[in-house]
DNA sequence: CTCGATACTGCAAACGTTTCCGATGTTATC
DNA sequence: GATAACATCGGAAACGTTTGCAGTATCGAG
């Protein structure tokens, strides 16, 4: 059917091994025959079969990206970074959506392992039981975890400096003179969230005039935080500033505030986390903590490619990337 | 290294061919030996090597998704649908971002062809010259194009009914009593855009009391449409309703209106296209034309999987999915 | 009891590469 | 001028499967 290395060997009168060497810029092949082979290959429109190649080399030049949902703008950005990094080394990315369902997650892992990917980038193993985690750690291919503090030493990680982000948010609010501050976040015990929360709360408590924030736990999404904000303001009308654990939650706060006739930032200061694209589009443009999402994806597969090359001595690495306060228009001085 | 079919064959005392048959639910294998083999495979934790399998069967069970940028929420949604469809048949998706750059696009096509994907889903071939398009059409694997009207009969397509969407938008604005209407869209000659524009304009012109809309061409993004809106309202202050070619553009219009002290929908009605997630989050929640993005992705790879199975007689198919008016709060009756 | 059909299984080729090894021819060294 | 080093190339094994073909055993029918 398709034309193979044999065809170009026959056509150029050499052995297939010579063709292979010529094509792979290999040494030990006469420049003239090399050029000849290249010409023939070109003329026949020869396309090497990478799966045959992979079978013998044992490397597939592809990586798996297992995220909870690519529709989450955060992961889309990470995915783009990951794909670009892969491309820079002629690798590619297979996309898997787990919805954080442990079953799906393990299914995908099994599937991509059978396809012999060279590494896996996944965003969470929290839902997995210890047995599954052990299984993962010993699966033979490098795995890097996204935005999980390196709790499990078996895996490599790349993460944003979530704690520093919390600190930044606290400092900003403090500087603006706020004294009645709340923090709205997701379910308790969510790994990287606690880092943000810790940085935020501790900074507030350690201030010259310490403030003890009220922190509420809810769902991680728009509606959840809309409800959470209403609950908060019902019980704590004195609050003048809110730190939401991510931008989408902050949007929920914006909506709740609007419904209550509160103006942002005049009546209520608000700060988010992530700096997703729409945080600058919404009204008012959201002050937030920027997470280097693209860079995280990029760094993660760079790390994977490095690990894939050293089959022996594969010690997990960890990398934490800096965050940044993006001042827009959702925060004001307390009046 | 990894354990292979030979290991389980040796361990269970049968030939590798029997193992293969037993594992593939093949007929012609004794139920007892089948169970034996299955047990051994399980005990040894055998994982079939899909690349070896692919080498002999000629099918890789993977598809390529080439979009301009996965960070575009539209494509993220499509990707999710595509990935889910692939998963339903134990296939997977490799993700490629072309930025609509013809070079990148062809590079990716070449790359995934060498990896022997079973099909390609791509969002545009408009940037490609005829020679490249011909090359694509004859590449040997099925290709379906996303949201391109079937201009090139060589490819399969799945698309939303863009023209109907334009009609819907026009009817809605007409019903609300608007007489001074504008349409803001992307660069001229953009394939599927002209469908939306045509449906919109023709419906307006064909009304009992025809209205001749002003249509402006600009860039496809937030900033572009913000500028476009300002230009529009500078020259046509009489306008009371705007149809933006997509939601992100509509967001730009929202921003421009706000800057000008115009209130939506009181002073200006606005209708978007796409129904991306954030269109319900923004203020005011955007009335828009819903495109079945997830379903489009899903349908596209279903189509690919079908085509992949019939190696012969591969006639391009086309499928157009319905759109829907989503009424929210950015449109009001003309007062 | 024989024979053909049937169920099961083994053998070996094939898929398209890479790569080790050895063969040959060429050049440099003394 | 012999030998060693080197460059170039071909032969063949290997990667881990699937699958067509043939062989054997079992079984029912006549």
- B128 pLDDT band, cuts 50/70/90, is confident
Task: Return the residue matching tokens 């391109």.
Answer: B148
What is the pLDDT at residue B171? Answer: 98
Does residue A1 sit in helix, strand or coil? coil
A329 vs A270, A289, B321, B325, CA distance in Å? 9, 13, 41, 33
Q: Which of residues 21-50 of A touch B (CB under 8 A)?
A: 47-50
Please state, as a whole number, how many other Cβ atoms lie within 10 Å of the Cβ of residue B45.
Answer: 9
For B29-73, write each residue's pLDDT tens digit: 888 999 999 999 999 999 999 999 999 999 999 999 999 999 999
Average pLDDT over residues B96-114: 95
Q: What does the pLDDT read at residue A42?
A: 95
Q: How confident is the model at residue B147 (pLDDT cuts 50, 70, 90)?
A: confident
Fold of the domain spanning A60-160+294-321: Rossmann fold (3.40.50)
Query: Using CB atoms, which residue from A51, A58, A71 is nearest to B77?
Result: A71
Please compute the mean of the pLDDT values over residues B230-250 and round it to a whole number: 97
Task: Give domain limits for chain B.
Answer: 5-48, 60-159+294-321, 162-291
* A48 contacts B71? CB cut-off 8 A: no
The H or E element that residue A228 is part of is helix A222-235
Q: Does domain B5-48 have CATH number 1.10.260.40?
A: yes
Query: Does residue A254 sit at the B interface (CB-CB below 8 Å)?
Result: yes
In a structure prediction context, what are the per-residue pLDDT tens digits for chain A, which is 335 residues long? 689 999 999 999 999 999 999 999 768 889 899 999 999 999 999 999 999 999 999 999 999 999 999 999 999 999 999 999 999 999 999 999 999 899 999 999 999 999 999 999 999 777 778 888 888 988 989 999 998 765 667 889 999 999 999 999 999 999 999 999 999 998 886 556 589 999 999 999 999 999 999 999 998 889 999 999 999 999 999 999 999 999 999 999 999 999 999 999 999 999 999 999 889 989 899 999 999 999 999 999 999 999 998 877 678 899 999 999 999 999 999 87
Nucleotide nearest to B18 (CA to C1'): C9
Measure the CA angle with vertex B131, ends B162 and B127; round to 5°: 40
- CATH fold group of domain A162-291: Rossmann fold (3.40.50)
Determine the Cα–Cα distance for residues B217 and B150; give it in Å rounded to an integer.
Answer: 23
Q: How far is B114 from chain A (nearest CA, A)?
A: 5
Q: Counting Cβ atoms within 10 Å, is residue B188 exposed (0-12), middle (13-18) or buried (19+)?
A: exposed
B6 CB within 8 Å of a chain A CB: no
pLDDT at B334: 86
Angle at A222 between CA A220 and CA A226, to 5 degrees: 105
Cβ within 8 Å of A, B 199-228: 222
Residue range B297-309: average pLDDT? 95
B66 in Cβ contact with B111 (< 8 Å): no
A2 touches chain B (CB under 8 A): yes
Of the candidates A305, A306, A311, A296, which has an alpha carbon nearest to the alpha carbon of residue A86?
A305
Task: Give me the residue from B52, B83, B222 closest to A281, CB to CB.
Answer: B222
State how far Cα B99 lies from the chain centre.
15
Residue window 52-91, chain A: list those with CB within 8 Å of chain B. 52, 54-55, 58, 60, 62, 65, 69-71, 73, 76-77, 79-80, 83-84, 90
Lowest mean pLDDT among A126-130, B175-179, B181-185, B297-301: A126-130
Min Cα distance B283 → chain A (Å) is 7
B293 CB neighbour count, 10 Å cutoff: 25
CB contact under 8 A, A60 and B47: no
pLDDT of residue A129: 82
Length B55 CA → C16 C1' (Å): 8
Q: Is B153 exposed, middle or buried (0-12, 13-18, 19+ CB in 10 A)?
A: exposed
Strand, coil or helix: B125: coil
pLDDT of residue B149: 66
> Where is pLDDT greater, at B131 or A45?
A45
Residue of B nearest to A70 (CA): B76
Superfamily of domain B60-159+294-321, CATH level 4: Response regulator (3.40.50.2300)
Distance A89 CA to C20 C1' (A): 27
Inter-axis angle of helices B162-175 and B191-205, nearest 10: 30
Q: Is the pLDDT of residue B189 over 70?
A: no
Q: Determine which helix (DSSP H) or strand (DSSP E) holds A107, and give its type and residue range.
A: helix A102-114
Q: CA of A9 and C1' of D4: distance in angstroms?
A: 33
CB of B1 nearer than 7 A to strand D: yes
Asked if A255 reaches chain B (Cβ–Cβ under 8 Å), the answer is yes
How far B115 CA sits from the closest chain A CA (Å)?
A: 5
Long-range CB contacts for residues B306-312, cutoff 8 Å, separation at least 24: B307/B119, B307/B142, B307/B144, B307/B156, B308/B59, B308/B118, B308/B119, B308/B141, B308/B142
Three-state DSSP state, A58? coil
Reduced to 3 states, what is the DSSP secondary structure of residue A185? strand
* pLDDT averaged over every residue in chain B: 93
Cα A40 to Cα A4, A13, B132: the distances in Å are: 12, 10, 21
Q: Are strands A119-122 and A156-160 parallel, antiparallel or unpaired?
A: unpaired
Task: Give, in Å, how far the C1' of C24 lies from the CA of A49.
Answer: 31
The answer to whether the A60-160+294-321 and A162-291 domains have the same CATH topology is yes
Q: What are the structure tokens assigned to B333, written together?
A: 């009756």
A52 closest CB neighbour out of B49, B55, B70:
B55
Bases of chain C within 7 A of a CB of the protein: 7-12, 14-20
Collapsing DSSP states into helix, strand and coil, what is residue A45? coil
d(CA A115, nearest CA chain B) in Å? 5
Give, as ranges, the nucleotides of chain D with any atom within 7 Å of a protein CB. 7-12, 14-20
Nucleotide C8 C1' to residue B58 CA (A): 28
Judged against a pLDDT cut of 80, whether residue B191 lies above it is answered with: no
Q: Tell me which chain A residues have a C-beta less than 8 angstroms from the C-beta of B76.
A: 70-71, 73, 76
Inter-chain touch B92–A95, beta carbons under 8 Å: yes
DSSP state, residue B244: E
Four-CA torsion B20, B26, B27, B29, nearest 10 degrees: 30
Question: Is B131 touching A (CB cutoff 8 A)?
Answer: no
**Residue of A1, A80, A255 lying closest to B97 (CB–CB):** A80
């Amino acid at each position: 059917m398709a034309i193979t290395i044999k065809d170009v060997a026959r056509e150029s009168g050499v052995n297939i091994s010579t063709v292979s060497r010529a094509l792979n810029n290999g040494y030990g092949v006469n420049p003239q025959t090399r050029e000849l082979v290249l010409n023939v290959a070109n003329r026949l429109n020869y396309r090497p079969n990478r799966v045959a190649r992979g079978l013998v080399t044992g490397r597939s030049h592809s990586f798996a990206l297992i995220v909870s949902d690519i529709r989450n703008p955060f992961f889309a950005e990470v995915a783009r970074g990951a794909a670009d990094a892969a491309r820079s080394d002629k690798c590619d990315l297979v996309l898997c959506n787990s919805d954080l369902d442990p079953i799906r997650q393990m299914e995908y892992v099994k599937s991509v392992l059978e396809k012999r990917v060279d590494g896996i980038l996944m965003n969470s193993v929290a839902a997995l039981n210890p047995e599954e985690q052990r299984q993962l750690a010993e699966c033979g291919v490098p795995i890097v975890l996204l935005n999980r503090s390196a709790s499990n030493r078996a895996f490599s990680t790349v993460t944003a400096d979530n704690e520093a982000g919390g600190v930044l948010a606290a400092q900003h609010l403090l500087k603006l003179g706020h004294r009645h501050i709340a923090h709205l976040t997701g379910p308790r015990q969510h790994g990287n969230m606690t880092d943000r929360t810790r940085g935020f709360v501790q900074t507030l408590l350690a201030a010259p005039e310490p403030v003890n924030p009220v922190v509420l736990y809810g769902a991680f999404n728009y509606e959840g935080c809309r409800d959470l904000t209403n609950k908060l303001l019902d019980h704590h009308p004195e609050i003048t500033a809110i730190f939401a654990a991510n931008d989408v939650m902050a949007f929920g706060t914006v909506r709740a505030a609007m419904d209550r006739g509160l103006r942002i930032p005049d009546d209520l200061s608000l700060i988010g986390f992530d700096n997703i694209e729409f945080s600058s589009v919404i009204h008012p443009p959201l002050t937030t903590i920027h997470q280097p999402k693209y860079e995280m994806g990029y760094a993660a597969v760079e790390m994977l490619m490095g690990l894939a090359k050293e089959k022996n001595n594969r010690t997990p690495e960890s990398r934490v990337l800096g965050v940044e306060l993006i001042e827009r228009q959702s925060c004001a001085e307390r009046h």
